[in-house]
């Protein structure tokens, strides 16, 4: 008979609990991310609302984020054992240091929403799928980082999928050139934001939530002149549903989901890995596209679906290639370190440690 080993049971329960936790976090990421896209699409270009004020919608989301940061900061003070969040404290000097990144942040979220306003949810992923390509280009221009032939080949696949998608969207008669241009600008902004974030993080003690706070506070100010220049105040004040509770409910909900996506993204990376997060995001985009086609009853040709598959495949391949290269780099560094340690030991004087009885 086999003896009962309680350690095996504990390990099985621990593995099961960890698996459930990962599944819940990934599901939450999918739910929040997809819901945010659909809610924003409703606010930006719904026939029910007919509100042509994308900058106002984006500005309000920033206001909600700042308010939530303030609330969580207060709760963290009152319940330090249950809630961990940085203190809601504004330093003008830090705000100035973060300002250049905040300008990129404003461009990023504005172009994202403007792209979503002009293209359908089903095409949204392909429309702004060049982030990886711009990341490679800008990393070379700004950071002088080179990219391997394999990674560049993956970027070529993504570009091919993007142009095929644009062509098929045009063939279907639903192509918005303006939306595609906004999508390309959004891709460039996202890549630029990711690169410059590393430079600015030390100014906020490497705390991603403090960075989010300062970015959104700066954005609240930066959006005001942009809204005035674009003439949105007149559109807002003449909006028929300005006093409608349902409209403000959706506005607040978009702000809450916009805040939540930052937290749930970080949590997914924490409980899995950056690679798994990227794969999850790619799979989420696929599910989002299918859901959008079902929700809006869009019938797409085979080549249109092929363009999505090409972009998804190229993005996944790029992630796997970069992971393989990173592992190889770490292995080379470890081998070099081991060789240096061995060389140091060889150079040490050999002493006879034998004791004479």
Q: What is the DSSP string of 297-355?
A: T----HHHHHHHHHHHHHHHHHHHHHHHHHHHHHHHHHHHHHHHHHHHHHHSPP---PP
Residue 209's pLDDT is what? Answer: 87
Which contacts qualify for 344-351: CB closer than 8 Å, 24 or more apart? none
Cβ contact 65:212 at 8 Å: yes
Residue 48's pLDDT is what? Answer: 85
Cβ contact 107:189 at 8 Å: yes
Cβ contact 144:137 at 8 Å: no
pLDDT band of residue 39 (cuts 50, 70, 90) is very high
Alpha-carbon span 124 to 183, nearest angstrom:
8
Segment 340-345 shows an average pLDDT of: 73
Tokens at residue 166, please?
Answer: 């644009």
- Shortest CA distance to 181 belongs to which of 123, 230, 111? 111
Segment 43-47 shows an average pLDDT of: 89
Cα 156–183–109 angle (5° rounding)?
125
Q: What is the pLDDT of residues 173-197, one digit of tens each?
A: 888 999 999 999 999 998 898 888 8
Segment 270-276 shows an average pLDDT of: 74
Alpha-carbon span 276 to 299, nearest angstrom:
31
Least confident span in 63-72, 76-85, 149-158, 250-259: 76-85
- Shortest CA distance to 183 belongs to which of 223, 123, 261, 265? 123
Is the pLDDT score of 86 beyond 80? yes
φ and ψ at residue 147, rounded to 5 degrees: -125, 145
Cα 171–115–313 angle (5° rounding)?
65
Alpha-carbon span 258 to 62, nearest angstrom:
8
Residue 346's pLDDT is what? Answer: 65
């Amino acid at each position: 008979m086999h003896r009962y080993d309680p350690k095996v049971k504990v390990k099985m329960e621990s593995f099961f609990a960890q698996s459930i936790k990962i599944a819940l976090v990934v599901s939450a990421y999918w739910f929040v991310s997809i819901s945010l896209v659909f809610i924003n699409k409703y606010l930006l270009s719904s026939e029910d609302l007919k509100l042509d004020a994308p900058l106002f919608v984006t500005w309000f989301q920033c206001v909600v984020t700042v308010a939530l940061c303030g609330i969580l900061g207060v709760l963290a003070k009152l319940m330090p054992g249950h809630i961990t969040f940085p203190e809601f404290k504004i330093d003008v000097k830090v705000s100035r240091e973060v300002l250049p990144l905040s300008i990129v942040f404003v461009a990023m979220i504005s172009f994202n929403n403007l792209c979503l306003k002009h293209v359908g949810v089903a095409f949204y992923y392909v429309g702004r799928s060049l982030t990886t390509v711009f990341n490679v280009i800008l990393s070379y221009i700004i950071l002088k980082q080179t990219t391997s032939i394999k990674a560049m080949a993956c970027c070529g696949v993504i570009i091919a999928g993007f142009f095929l998608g644009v062509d098929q969207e045009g063939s279907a008669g639903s192509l918005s050139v303006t939306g595609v241009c906004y999508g390309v600008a959004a891709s460039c902004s996202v890549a630029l934001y990711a690169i410059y974030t590393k430079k600015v993080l030390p100014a906020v003690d490497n705390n991603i939530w403090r960075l989010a706070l300062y970015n959104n506070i700066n954005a609240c100010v930066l959006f005001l002149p942009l809204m005035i220049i674009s003439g949105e105040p007149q559109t807002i004040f003449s909006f028929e549903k300005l006093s409608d509770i349902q409209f403000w409910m959706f506005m607040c909900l978009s702000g809450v989901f916009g805040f939540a996506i930052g937290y749930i993204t970080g949590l997914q990376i924490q409980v899995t890995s950056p690679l798994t997060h990227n794969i999850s995001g790619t799979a989420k985009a696929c599910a989002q596209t299918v859901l959008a086609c079902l929700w809006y009853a869009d019938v797409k040709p085979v080549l249109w679906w092929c363009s999505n598959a090409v972009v998804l495949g190229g993005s996944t391949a790029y992630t796997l290639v970069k992971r393989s290269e990173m592992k190889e780099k770490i292995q080379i560094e470890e081998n070099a370190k081991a060789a240096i340690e061995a060389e140091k030991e060889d150079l040490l004087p050999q002493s006879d440690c034998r004791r004479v009885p």
